[in-house]
């Protein structure tokens, strides 16, 4: 009887979780790393301004030569802000877009593995271009950071990143220089 009850709760929880997941739009972004590709989809119905901003940064090439500055196993892999994380200089159009801040578009979507969540300072409207890929569940972030998409392909790449050596700097778990390899990002349209 006890096993049956646990199974029943699991089924109900999964059905509820599936019903609440927002729909992904067809455009995708692919980040190329030394450890493999990571493909992202977007939630324009959840965070339309954030999606527009990130997609524009990608189209302008702002994430190219950028890097993950933080990998905290089971928590997040965080992409550096493009204004300070790129190794290549930025042109005026890139710099102008990178310096924009986005209003906090907070939602009921949960911070679970594969979710894309904007980084920000204490001001809820201070997000620019740094974002995290969730590597586990983080309910303490729910409703406080703008979720704008999720990983659609590349979980094996995330697993490789999680295995890299790290060290602690204050509250952050930072990679040990291995991830300073540069990202290449491209926008692609996925047929439905």
Q: How far apart are CA 117 and CA 148, in angstroms?
A: 6
Q: How far apart are CA 147 and CA 152, in angstroms?
A: 15
How many other CB atoms are found less than 10 A from the CB of residue 125?
12
- Show pLDDT as tens, one digit a residue, over the chain (192 residues): 333 333 233 333 333 344 468 999 988 999 888 889 999 999 999 999 999 999 999 999 999 988 888 888 899 999 999 998 888 899 999 999 999 999 999 999 999 999 999 999 999 999 999 999 999 999 999 999 999 999 999 999 999 988 877 756 655 555 555 444 455 655 554 444
Residue 176: predicted pLDDT: 52
Residue 186: predicted pLDDT: 55
In sequence order, which residues have a C-beta less than 8 Å from that of residue 24 and are 6 or more positions away?
41, 42, 43, 149, 150, 152
Q: How far apart are CA 118 and CA 148, in angstroms?
A: 8
Residue 167: predicted pLDDT: 59
- Residue 94 tokens read as 């890139």
Nearest C-alpha neighbor of 185 from the set 34, 55, 64? 64
In sequence order, which residues have a C-beta less than 8 Å from that of residue 60 and are 6 or more positions away?
93, 94, 97
Task: Identify the CATH number of the domain defined by range 27-189.
Answer: 2.40.100.10
Q: Number of C-alpha atoms within 13 angstroms, CB side, residue 85? A: 26
What is the bridge-based pairing of β-strands 147-153 and 115-118?
Answer: antiparallel
Residue 103: predicted pLDDT: 96
- Are the C-beta atoms of residues 135 and 113 closer than 8 Å to each other? yes
Residue 172: predicted pLDDT: 53
Edge-to-edge strand ranges of the sheet holding 172-175: 166-169, 172-175, 68-72, 76-79, 131-134, 115-118, 147-153, 36-42, 27-33, 184-189
Residue 86: predicted pLDDT: 85
What does the domain layout of the chain look like in residue ranges? 27-189
Residue 2: predicted pLDDT: 33
């Amino acid at each position: 009887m006890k096993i049956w009850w646990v199974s029943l709760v699991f089924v109900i929880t999964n059905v509820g979780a599936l019903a609440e997941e927002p729909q992904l739009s067809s455009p995708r972004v692919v980040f190329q790393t030394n450890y493999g590709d990571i493909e992202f989809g977007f939630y324009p119905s959840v965070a339309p301004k954030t999606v527009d901003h990130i997609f524009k940064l990608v189209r302008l090439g702002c994430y190219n030569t950028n890097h993950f500055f933080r990998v905290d196993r089971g928590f997040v892999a965080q992409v550096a802000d493009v204004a300070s994380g790129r190794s290549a200089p930025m042109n005026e159009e890139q710099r102008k877009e990178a310096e924009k801040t986005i209003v906090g578009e907070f939602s009921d979507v949960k911070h679970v593995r594969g979710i894309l969540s904007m980084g920000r300072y204490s001001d809820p409207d201070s997000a620019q271009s740094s974002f995290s890929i969730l590597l586990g569940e983080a309910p303490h972030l729910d409703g406080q950071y703008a979720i704008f998409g999720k990983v659609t392909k590349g979980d094996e790449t995330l697993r490789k990143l999680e295995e890299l050596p790290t060290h602690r700097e204050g509250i952050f778990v930072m990679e040990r220089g291995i991830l300073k390899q540069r990202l290449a990002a491209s926008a692609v349209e996925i047929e439905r």
